[in-house]
Amino acid sequence: MSIDHSHHLDNPDKSGPPPKIDVVATVPGAPPAPEGAEAMTILVTLPPNSPGAPPHRHSGPAYGFVVKGAVNFELEGEPVRVVRAGEAFWEPGGDVIHYQDGNHLADEESAFVVTMFCAPGQPMLTVVSPEELEARRDRRAPRS
């Protein structure tokens, strides 16, 4: 069942037009945040051709929006995709490895905002060891 998330807000003081609200993305059946989670919103700015963070995972779900440029995005079991300015992404967190979040552009800066729901007492990002990457290589989508 799909829910209509469109909104129209009347502007009672009529000093100007009402806000325009566009739903950028939804995540049906999204994983719950860890109990007692800390919500953290960060801005990540990637210089031209930056590979981004090394393969890592988050302790809870993360929801993001590319504000400038284009970002290579790859989660365990999914092919690499390019998320462009104005588009959203999400990841479930937990055991899933986030392989790529680098700048897709060689000559321009890219940036994204992401809100993460971190488990209490855990860092927002944990780098995955080379040994674990090797042990789980069969879970990574084929790369072209």
**Architecture of 48-118 per CATH?**
Sandwich (2.60)
Dump pLDDT digits (tens) for 49-86: 999 999 999 999 999 999 999 999 999 999 999 999 99
pLDDT score recorded for residue 12: 65
pLDDT of 44 above 70: yes
What residues contact residue 78 under an 8 Å CB cut-off, 6+ apart? Answer: 141
- Model pTM? 0.86
Report CA-CA distances (Å) from 8 to 12, 17, 95. 12, 11, 39
Beta bridge partners of 39: 117
Residues near 116 by Cβ (< 8 Å), separated by ≥ 6?
Answer: 39, 40, 41, 42, 58, 60, 61, 62, 93, 124
